[in-house]
Structure 1
Amino acid sequence: MLGVGTQSNPYIIQTPQDLHNVRNNLTAYYELGNDIDMSGWGNFTPIGTSSEKFMGNFNGKGYKIKNLTINSTTAYVGLFSFTENATIQNLAIENANVVGQNVNYVGILAGNITNSTIKNCYTTGNVSGQYGIGGLVGWHYSGLIENCFSHANTTGRGRVGGLVGNGATSNSLVNKCYSTGLVTVTPDPNLYNGGLVGSHVDSTKVTNSYFDINTSGQTISAGGTGKTTAEMKQQTTYVGWDFTNTWGINNDYPYLQIFGVPTAPPKKETITIQSYVNHIHSKTSKINKSTKQTQSFLNTIQTLSERHTSTKRTISSYTLPNATSVQKQNRTVRSVTQHVTSYMNPIDSIVERKTKTIQQLLSYINHIKSNVIAVAPIQNKIVNASVYVIENTSTVQFEDNLSNTYAIENPSVVEVI
């Protein structure tokens, strides 16, 4: 992953694999670079153990880890198994499913925190285990949880709370937090359960914090104040909270500004609509479409066609001069006149004739327009009407173009020595 793990240059987590690799350095600085979808990862192993605790700094930067699944048979279950002297802030975990099979100390964010700070974080989803089960943190041994909330449903056998399962010491501080998730304790529903905190050694260490008595199914808590759903959606309920820089509220539960304004879930509503209209009357008429052929008559139109033929034939042929030389020599010198015959192969010439013929003769005339103006007789005077016809003769040109053929005869030259 990017970065070197220092405060000035932290590791940047961008993929599920990057998140898994946090366990390789439990004391470094980390930041989320984007939302992380864990739906394709499968069962995630918690980061750290009770013997090798996470002691680093993890800053979510307002991003979210979504669809986290953890199913463990070892105690201290959560994204972080066990933290000590750690800081986790600005982190959201949505739609998580965290299960501790017959084990204790289970929370979506952390199974146990010791001397650690959790700020500006929230969780949604489901979490279950035996004892010490919380929607955010299972076992809060010491440290500060501030400006956090949980909408997660929690289930366990005892010490089960909507936000924190158990506040183990007087140094387990909770401030300005709330929870709304359903809290279920089985088989004994009265064994340390609470809407916000399941159990706490000193409930006064939980300050300015609230839980929804309607959605949690709980009217008690080891710290925090129970409010109705309607009251939980009113800003006046939250005494001392910073709704300028940290929190926001918009006719719903408070939200952390660093994550933006939450999108309201779609509401399903059935609406029955009855519509009444008068009877619709329609009139049908028969429409016939008739096509008639119209002919117009004019006087005879006379056209003049001419044919022009141009024929040009010129034949020319050129060949280079041909020269032959015949020599006859004898050792005996005689004065004899002999006739020597010279033979040459026939000179072939190619005469090519090209003819271009245009056979189709077309005659075009423009449309003839005629105007007839008739004036009704007035005072028995005779009015004559005239009809004018304009004739436009066509011209047709025909040309034959023949190739040229040339012929030159060059006699042979015979020399006798």
Structure 2
Amino acid sequence: MATLISTPQDLDNIRNDLTGTFELTNDIDMSGWGNWTPIDDFGGSLDGKGYKILNLSINHNAHTGLFGITSSTFTILYLGFENIDIVNSNSNAGALIGYTSGSNTIIDNCFVEGGTIQAYGYAGGLIGNLRGTATVTNSYTNLDSIHTTNYRSSGFIGAFVGDNHLVENCYSVTNSLTSADPNEVFGFAWYENNSTVNNCFWDTEVSGVTQTHHGTGKTTAEMQTQSTYTNWDFTSIWGINGSYPYLQVFGTPEQPAKQESREVTSYLNIITSQLDVAIDDYVPPKIETRSIQSDIQPISSHIQSHRATLRSIEGYLSRIDTNATQSSHIVRVGNVTSFVSPIQSSVNVSTYRQPIIQTINLVSYLNRIQADTDVLLPSSSKTINGYITIESNQSRTSYNVNNTYSQVIENPSYSEVME
């Protein structure tokens, strides 16, 4: 009966039973474990059951991997690795095994995705140095970088040594595949003697490596096309969804978010601020245009400033006195219409009639003021009639005398009406 593994400690306990049978029950995150010590001389079996070992970190000076060195019968099935960090200072390194010389090594449905491997000797994504008798099938690696400081670096298996190996239906992708000696870099694997390698591939565009002893180099587009993988089982073992093939036992990976870059140019309209300066002497409004920086929206601003000129007006019926220096006689019929924006005004209306003097002070907030002034020409034989009307908002003052009706509201103006 298999021993179940659900924690990092359970995984470490494998070293206490080197011929045992083990099964994972869930993904195991090693990020809190620290530096992992490779398990040596393992000769049992480990069934990952489609689960993964996450964030495995190793810094070691002997054969380096989850298993440092293996011998005798050794079986690994349905096991994945994500985000590894392996540093070896004196020997061989791979995510699964640093060095194997077993007489019957079986590896099937395994993968390594994400992370880096650096070694002194042979380095490969899955296995550093493969010796003895081994069968490796339906597996892949996709790593950020593999580098050796002294010897050979390969994308999938650092080196085959011996004649009794079968590697079939596997691939590798390595973003950075390097060695201290550029001549010792191989896309898929390096071998010393003859081995059988069927339908295996590596990405030449991503790695930038075109030489290998085993496997077939393909472009990225070819590596992401199902027809490239002749004789692979895409019914029950492999799947592909627009990227590199994946193993179905681990579930369908999430489709990467589609990224698009688009250039958007935004133009802001010039913001126009209109200043109207109205003077009673009929000076045309002054228009000022200003350019204002805005990150939100074009903003319209309308500002009006009104200045009133005081003037003296004399009529045949009554006289309106102010402190203005100008005076005029209204001698013809005319209509005057004006509009004033909301302002605060103080209006003083004084009416003089001997012997009574009345002064009225008005304060009002005026909206638009519409004023119509009608003056009738006097007749030589009849009484002169004058009619003045100013309409406003909220304020009204009237005074009637001799059939003349006057109503005055100004803004802001000081007016005196005298009879």
TM-score range, shorter chain: 0.5 to 0.7
Which of 33, 46, 57 matches 2:38?
46
Contact 2:51–2:80 (Cα < 8 Å) also in 1: yes
After TM superposition, give the deviation of residue 198 of structure 1 in Å: 2.7
Indicate how the Cα distance of structure 1 residues 282 and 120 shifts in structure 2: closer, same or farther if over 3 A, else same. same
Instruction: Show the counterpart of 2:385.
Output: none
> Which amino acid is 2:181 matched to?
D
Match of 1:31 among 1, 20, 23: 23
Partner of 2:112: 123
Q: CA deviation at 1:162?
A: 0.5
Which residue of 81, 89, 94 maps to 1:93? 81
Q: Secondary structure at the match of 1:108?
A: coil
Q: Provide the residue aligned with 2:376 in structure 1.
A: none
Question: 8 Å contact 1:162–1:182 — kept in the other structure?
Answer: no
Alpha-carbon offset, residue 82 of structure 1: 1.8
Q: CA deviation at 1:138?
A: 0.6
Residue 184 of structure 1, CA deviation = 3.5
C-alpha distance in structure 2 between counterparts of 1:131 and 1:183, whole Å: 17
Q: Is 1:111 aligned to 2:98, yes or no?
A: yes
Deviation at 1:269, TM superposition (A): 5.3
Q: Aligned-pair distance for 1:94?
A: 0.6
Match of 1:132 in 2: 122
Change over 3 Å in CA distance of 1:257–1:107 after alignment to 2: same
Secondary structure in 2 matching 1:43: coil
CA contact (8 A) 1:178 1:196 kept: yes
Cα distance in 2, alignment partners of residues 274 and 182 from structure 1: 35
Aligned counterparts of 1:169 and 1:226: Cα–Cα separation in 2 = 23
Q: How does 1:145-164 map to 2 (within 5 A)?
A: 145-152=136-143, 153-156=145-148, 157-164=150-157
Contact in 1 for aligned 2:155/2:177 (Cα 8 Å):
no
The 5 Å alignment of 1:161-200 reads 161-182=154-175, 184-191=177-184, 193-200=185-192
Shift of residue 217, structure 1, vs aligned partner: 1.9
Give CA deviations for 1:111-144 in whole Å, capped at 9, x if unaligned.
Answer: 1232211100011211111222110001111211
Matching of residues 328-347 of structure 1 within 5 Å: none
Question: Gaps spanning 5+ residues in structure 1: where?
Answer: 1-5, 291-417
CA distance change for structure 1 residues 46 and 277 in 2, over 3 Å: closer, same or farther? same
Match of 1:212 in 2: 203
Paired with 1:283 and 1:261, the residues of 2 have a C-alpha distance of: 61
Q: Which secondary structure state, in structure 2, belongs to the residue aligned with residue 19 of structure 1?
A: helix
Greater mean deviation of Cα atoms: 62-71 or 108-117: 108-117
Q: Is the 8 A contact 2:146 2:174 kept in 1?
A: yes
- Distance in 2 (CA, whole Å) between partners of 1:250 and 1:70 is 33
Could you tell me whether the CA contact under 8 Å between 1:160 and 1:183 is conserved in 2? no
Q: Among residues 58, 67, 72, which one is paired with 1:70 in the alignment? A: 58
CA distance in 1, matches of 2:192, 2:215: 11
Specify the code of the residue in structure 1 equivalent to 2:106: T
Percent sequence identity is 44
Judged with a 3 Å threshold, the aligned counterparts in structure 2 of structure 1 residues 60 and 67 are, in CA distance, closer, same or farther, namely same
Instruction: Give the conservation status (yes or no) of the 8 Å contact 1:110–1:137.
Output: yes
CA deviations over 1:273-324 (Å, ceiling 9, x no partner):
234587665889969xx9xxxxxxxxxxxxxxxxxxxxxxxxxxxxxxxxxx
Unaligned 5+ runs, structure 2 = 270-297, 304-340, 344-364, 366-419
- 1:81 deviates by 1.3
> CA 1:147–1:200 in 2, change beyond 3 Å: closer, same or farther?
farther
Call closer, same or farther: CA 1:81–1:266 in 2, change over 3 Å: same
Is 2:243 the counterpart of 1:252?
Answer: yes
The residue identity in structure 2 corresponding to 1:55 is G
SS, match of residue 63 in structure 1: strand
Query: SS of the counterpart of 1:121?
Result: strand
Determine whether 1:229 maps to 2:220: yes
How far residue 264 of structure 1 moved from its aligned partner, in angstroms, is: 4.2
1:158 deviates by 2.3
Is the contact between residue 162 and residue 183 of structure 1 (CA under 8 Å) also seen in structure 2? no
Segment drifting more, 171-180 vs 109-118: 109-118
Q: How many residues align structurally?
A: 274
3-state SS of 1:263 partner: coil
Contact (CA 8 Å) 1:159, 1:199: kept in 2 or not?
Answer: no
Q: Which amino acid aligns with 2:254?
A: T
8 Å CA contact 2:241–2:255 kept in 1: the answer is: no
Do the aligned residues in 2 keep the contact of 1:132 with 1:158 (CA within 8 Å)? yes
Task: Give the alignment's TM-score, normalised by structure 1.
Answer: 0.61
Q: Which amino acid aligns with 2:163?
A: S
| Structure 2 partner of 1:18 | 10
Once the two structures are superposed, residues 57-82 of structure 1 have per-residue CA deviations (whole angstroms, 9 ceiling, x without a partner) of 101111110000011112x2100112
Give the letter aligned to residue 95 of structure 1.
N
Equivalent residue, structure 2, for 1:309:
none
Q: Which of 1 and 2 has greater Rg?
A: 1
Is the alpha carbon distance of 1:233 and 1:286 closer, same or farther for their aligned partners in structure 2, counting shifts above 3 Å?
Answer: farther
- TM-score, scaled relative to structure 2: 0.61
